[in-house]
Amino acid sequence: MVIPQHVALILDGNGRWAKKRGLPRTMGHKEGCVTVEKTVEIAARMGIRYLTVYGFSTENWKRSSDEVGALMQLFRFYMVRLLKIASANNVRVKMIGDRTRFDRDIIEGINRLESETKDNMGLTFVIAVNYGGRDEIRRAAKRLAQDCAAGKVDADQIDEATFASYLDTADMPDPDLLIRTSGELRLSNYLLWQLAYTEIVVTDCLWPDFNKEELEKAIVQYNRRERRFGGVKG
């Protein structure tokens, strides 16, 4: 079985998982964080080189202040745990998205995670926080326009590779496989540039219930598909 080099995940269903059990939504998010931890370790052992998860979108700020506040507290707690997990599994941690909106201590925690794991040579675990695909493209276009205006880039020489070098994922390969949990059939503004030719697998499993078996089933589906350059069968 071919193991995809880069797997992207949309972690959906935390709220529904909690509702089914008569629990508050925050308990679903907490259990979802535990599943993230387990999935990082499983992916590292399987030989996946990049694992990217949608942790907190630009749209998530629209949720209730109580839920956003609880998510921020969870983020603070699990950043500390993640540093231990990364060290134990030789994992490099990278954050993508606009981190400037977070409180100073969270920004410092993100910077510490990246700095203290930068020399790890195993799985690269990428967390999209305050991330939106359109926002990423907007930010990239703005920086590219500024460099063009400054004479650093010739506008006539801009190609896809040039533009991609301004994205948050500039040093990473595009995902081979996207897995979305809870049965939803949409991209939700996630990695819009990078997913152009990615294979997509949707499972009805709610994210807190996701496990090694679910990941393996998705990779089996990935292996059954006939992939051609440019995403076109010929």
Catalytic residues: 12, 60
* CA–CA separation, 199 and 169 (whole Å): 18
DSSP lists the bridge partners of residue 112 as none
Residues 175 and 52: beta-carbon distance below 8 Å? yes
**Strand duo 92-96 + 177-180: pairing:** unpaired
Helix (H) or strand (E) holding 124: strand 124-131
Report, in this order, helix, strand and coil percent for the chain, each rounded to 5: 50, 15, 35
Task: Give me the phi and psi of 2, to 5 degrees please.
Answer: -80, 125
Q: What is the DSSP string of 125-160?
A: EEEEEEE-HHHHHHHHHHHHHHHHHTTSS-GGG--H
Cβ-based neighbours of 115, under 8 Å, separated by 6 or more: none
Q: Residue 39: which H helix or E strand, with range?
A: helix 25-46
Query: The tokens 């990941």 sit on which residue?
Result: 215
- State the CB neighbour count (10 A cutoff) for residue 193: 17
